[in-house]
Chain A
């Protein structure tokens, strides 16, 4: 089968690889019909995540058709079209039972801090991902959800990660009616977080980024204010001035390890790898939020350390809330939002690329060429 093949930082290609097999009674094999490149895939692509091995297939945002099921699978049948959450969750450990599906303790032997994630290095379990024609999906009775009849599959594929992550970013912000919410990052997750902030009653939503076409998009798509941090001297000071000098009620870091905007963070985090990526967005979020405010983090960082102003967290009495999105928990509500027209995620898709051209697709997304916001890869078998 054809699959994306990681060859090193900024080097990927499409190769023929062996078909995945059922390795556990509750496995399913899914024939992928759409997969996305996530902003967090770029952390892998840029070589920022430890234990990213050459030969791995990335991809944790995918939907497809059930091709084969293991002997204990009861909730899926061959031929079902399914949304596959990016979290691999057993459904039985203490964390899954409490709906912390992003924190499963039975899916990642390599690290205890994160549950298993498809195609996200061995630090997240060593699973090949969905940027392929076929993929092995463990715990098939737990995560995969049948796509509701009539749902556009472009919307469905974005329910695997970007929509739940953006929504949970807003949810973790504990937004109260009347709050001012600042989102750092106008990538797909930041765009969705801005959109969802309104669902929780925000009175004002402000987004920062440095990519003009994305700022233009988020301003229109999420009805928010959008500013280029490169054209203002200091985004933190800007937030203070525009909030009567107090700071935002809620700040969301929707960028993570690849943030731009601070030379020191960029050099130590992205060039020298002395910290787990650049923590510029988180730094700004902590300093922009009001005393007693909430910082919500969904941006992905590596597992080592980051330079952030932790003293200000203490002195300002900030609450930090963070997690990988618990996709399965959120899916029913998000499907309602899409069916009711409150969310329209597919509008973020700018590029549909054949899987064979995965190298170009990664480069376009990484370098923000051709006004790229969200890329969907289409395997050859899904184009027939």
Chain B
């Protein structure tokens, strides 16, 4: 047992059956007692914060290091900032983040076009490999897409004629 400052001698039998080997996290965790020092470890030097870093409301600060990939921007960034007002415990944190991810996909296409790059979505989806290793599957996929698009077009055209 680790040596605690608290005195439990008035509690008969306190800790008598404590057995580190009967511990669900054993042997994954090497007990040092550091858990009970709470948030008082010597922090590593802090990485300078030169970009916007959103941080969980479940911690008091930004971690000593952090990733600098793709800081929040645009509409998706605004949605992410909103999401980070809520704790990790709440759907209002995670669901807006999923929405932001989808908005970000559209922003990515717009950014590509702004830079004069037309994204080759066929290539980005690995369809060259599909053609090589699963040509029947690719043909089926194309046929289904054409059929669904044609049916949708026919329905829309029919509706506009009725008007």
Instruction: Give A residues with C-beta under 8 Å from B.
Output: 7-13, 23-27, 47, 50-57, 72, 88, 90, 92-94, 97-100, 105-113, 116, 122-123, 125-128, 138-139, 168, 171-172, 273, 302-304, 319, 321, 323, 326, 329, 359-364, 366-367, 369-370
Contact = CB atoms under 8 A, between A and B. Distances in A.
B18 interface: no
A114 to B, nearest CB: 10
Nearest to A353: B129
Given A55-B70, A106-B64, A321-B25, 7 more contacts: A23-B68, A92-B41, A106-B44, A122-B67, A359-B126, A364-B133, A367-B126
Contacts, number: 199
Contacts of A92: 41-44
B161 interface: no
Give chain B's interface secondary structure class: loop
Interface of B: 24-25, 27-32, 34-35, 37-38, 41-45, 47-48, 53-56, 58-59, 61-70, 72, 76, 80, 84, 88, 91, 94-95, 97-98, 100-102, 104-105, 107-109, 119-121, 123-130, 133-134
Nearest to A12: B124
Of A92, A109, A361, the most chain B CB neighbours within 10 A belong to: A109
B112 to A, nearest CB: 8
B123 A139 contact: no
Give chain A's interface secondary structure class: loop
A305 to B, nearest CB: 9
Contacts of A326: 28
Of A8, A24, A55, A364, the most chain B CB neighbours within 10 A belong to: A8
A362 to B, nearest CB: 6
A383 B130 CA distance: 25
